[in-house]
Amino acid sequence: MTRQQVLDQYFIETRHKLIDIAAFLDRADRAEGEADFRLDAFRTAIKELSGKKPGRAEKVLLAFSDPTTKPIAKAHGKGACGAWSAKG
């Protein structure tokens, strides 16, 4: 696809998603409560979007991923929460 074709096909949909993200961050910032690792990971991922080098999707995914390489003996039974917490 050409750049023009990509923009014509995906711009409106992606613009909507970006506005949705802005609204989410506004709600999270207005809400009371303690700091949360998921919001920290989200903000780290957002920083990756401003670059112009290829590989942004991978860097965003890695911002939410567990960086450890040693397997754990047993999962603690928690469900997935969408981001890795160093606290476990």
pLDDT of residue 75: 73
pLDDT of residue 4: 98
pTM over 0.75: yes
Return the structure tokens found at 72: 């754990």
Residue type, 19: I
Q: Which alpha helices (DSSP H) does the chain contain, by range?
A: 3-30, 37-48, 56-64
Give mean pLDDT in consecutive 10-residue pieces for the chain, a chain of 88 residues: 97 98 97 94 94 93 92 75 80
Can you tell me whether residue 8 is helix, strand or coil? helix
